[in-house]
Each structure stands twice: as structure tokens, then as C-alpha cells.
Structure 1
Amino acid sequence: MRYINCGFERKMIKLLFTGVLLQVLCSFATQKVKTTLYYESLCPGCHEFIKDQLVPTWKNMSDYMLVELVPYGNAQRNYSGGHWHFKCQHGVLECEENLIHACAVDLLQSRETNKLLNFINCMVFHSDLELHKKTSWCIKNAEIPERKIIACVGGPKAESLILSMAEKTESVTPDWLGVPTVQINGVYNPNEQEEIVDNLKSIICKYLGNPQPDICNQV
């Protein structure tokens, strides 16, 4: 005769149920909307979006967002003498600042979005300051390793970084319409751009679906 340890079986069933429940809860907890911003470092409209929409929305909804920054915009590129050369809409200073932003993105985006957005927001807020002065100040303010940014800007990786930003920007479909441009979950929807620029939070909540976090019900 086979004796069944009912207490043991009940414990196993309880553990299995708990594991499944945790998986379901975690799937809700980790649901995130990817927000990709294509912009230029000296674009006034981009500055407004970063200050008024992207950063405040991130501060309130960072648990539900993934942010990707692509600093390039309406720049142009050509290949000569074995290297890529870039011409930016707002001149040489914008190309220099785009590169600084790109280096910060490369250093921080995958693991320290808070620091990255603090740095970018600082650069935008102090846009009237001389480039090197505001860069140094904002690096310290965001607690970023300055030597790594300097090494990136002046190193062999700089050209390939900007090239990668160019290629990402040029891949946006439908046709590129200007900056700021935002993709949600990797998709560019021209019909949503106006609402994104005016109320990014509502778009994030829309893509989160149900059940929605409490922040989505707050004015």
C-alpha cells in the first residue's frame, strides 16, 4: 500500500501557486513603455519638450518607462578622406554638443537613466552658457565621471557614435518630419506627435493599458 503525504503535496501546490502568482504580478510591475526621442541639442522646441514633458513625466512614471535619446536631428553627413563628416542645422556648436550628449547616452542610458536625464536637462536649462562651461557644470551636477565623457568626445569612438545616431534617425519611418520626433515602443505615429509634445503622460498611460497605475488617474 502506498502512503501519500498530503501535507507535503499541499505545500508543493501552494508553492507552485505562489510562483505563478508572483510571475503574473511581476509581469504587470515590469510593463514599460519605450519612449525614443530624436532631437538636436540646440533646438528650442526640443528644449521645451525635454524640460516640460520628458523629464517631468520620467520623474513621475519612471517605473513604467524606458527612455532612449538620439541626438542628431536634421544634421547631414558625408564621407570623405576615410571619415564621416557632419553638418548640423544650428552650426558647429550644435555638432559639438550633439557629440557630448551622445557620449552621455553611451555611458549612462542602459543603466543610469536618472543621471542621463539630469545631465541632459541641465544642459538644456543652461543653454545660454558657453558650451564647455555648462558641460563641466552639468557633469558635476549629475555626478557623471568627467574623464569618461572627455575621453569619449576626444577619442576614436566619437565618429562611430554620431554615425550610429545618424543611422537611427534616418531609419525613422514614415518620412522624417523634423525635431522633436518621438517613437513609442519603436513605432513612429505622426498622428500622435502633437499629443506627445503636449501631454506625454497621457500617451504613456494609453500604451500601458489596463490595469493602469494610479498616476494615470491624477490630473
Structure 2
Amino acid sequence: MTNHSNEPSTAKGTIRSRLLDARRACAPDLRARLSAQACEVLLDVLLDRIGEAEVVAAYASFGTEPDTGPLLAGLHARGVRVLLPILENDMNLSWGWYSGPDSLVRRIPPGGTRPSPIPEPAVSLGRDAVLAAAWIVVPALAVSPDGVRMGRGGGSYDRVLAGIEASGAAVRPRVAALLYPGETDVDIPVEPHDRAVDMAVAGHEVRDWR
């Protein structure tokens, strides 16, 4: 008898491998140019939709991810308060303030022996700090035509977004994914824990579902 219970996860693994291979095959200077375009577009969108002194939660990119450096610098330069994630031992995320690259540290990740390549805030404000954000910018490998996000498979951001939905807050943060061109409208097997984003930005392209 064939066990079909893992078919969505298996299909996702194949899609993830294809997308990661495509990112690695893209020339670094092209990745940098596409990242800068997406950050410029997303920064304009965020600044147009948030008020003074509001909070944006984002992330420090690594590897072949779209480089969030220009976005973080742009938000910080304009007085927007920025939260960045801290990976906890149970793979959940807490959050701390970003006040420039010097405010970040490289911790040894859970179960690891070497510092993480991902810089994090030095001081945690707890998991619920993200509820203060007007927007959350999340990493993604792809989004579906309906805006369902696919990440790397760790589930950390799915749990963050599920926690926000369960918080009962009258106004929840909106969610934006930062991608490369060709990573939107991807046919993704959707599982119950998957969460949709409100917006995806890939190069100059903006997809807004809500």
C-alpha cells in the first residue's frame, strides 16, 4: 500500500530544491540588483502606508536571499522602528530592536557549535513584541497565486503568523514577502499550517492580495 501522507511535503521539497538551485545559479551582481529594486519598491510601499513612529518587523537576510540591507537602512534612516527576529531553542522567534548593523550579534544557534550566519538583535523583547508591528516583512522562497507563502520548511514564520491570527488583536500586522522575479504565482501544495501573505514584492513587481 502506498502512503500518501507525506506527498505535499515531498512535493514542497522538490520545489524548494529547484528554487534554491535557481537562486544559486543567478549571478551575484544580478541578485544584488534585483534585491535593491525590490527593497526600493517595498520601502516606498511601507512608508506610504504607515504613520510616524510605527513599527515594522523584518529580518536580516543571508546567503542567496534577497538582500534586506537596503530596506533595513532605509526604514531606520526615516525613523521607523524596526524589529528583527531572534531564533529561540524551540525554533520559535522572539524579537528585538534594530538600530543599525552594530546593534546585531551572531549567536550560536540551537544545537550548533558555530555562530549563525544570520545576525540578530542582542536583547530579546519576547515573542509578542511582533504584535506591535504595522507590517511584517518575511522571507520566502515562493508564493502561490493566492499568496500562500512557502519558506525553507522550518515552520518558524508559519508559527509567528498563526500566533498573530490567534492573538485576537483588533488590528493585526500586514505581511509582505520579499522575493526574486519568477518566485510569485508558483504552484505550491498547501498544507493546514501554511499561511498567506498580504503582499509580495519581486523586483519591480508588486502583488497585493488584501
Same fold per superposition (TM over 0.5): no
TM-score (ref. length: structure 2): 0.24
Higher helix fraction: Structure 1 or Structure 2?
1
Higher strand fraction: Structure 1 or Structure 2?
2
Between Structure 1 and Structure 2, whose CA radius of gyration is higher?
1
TM-score (ref. length: structure 1): 0.24
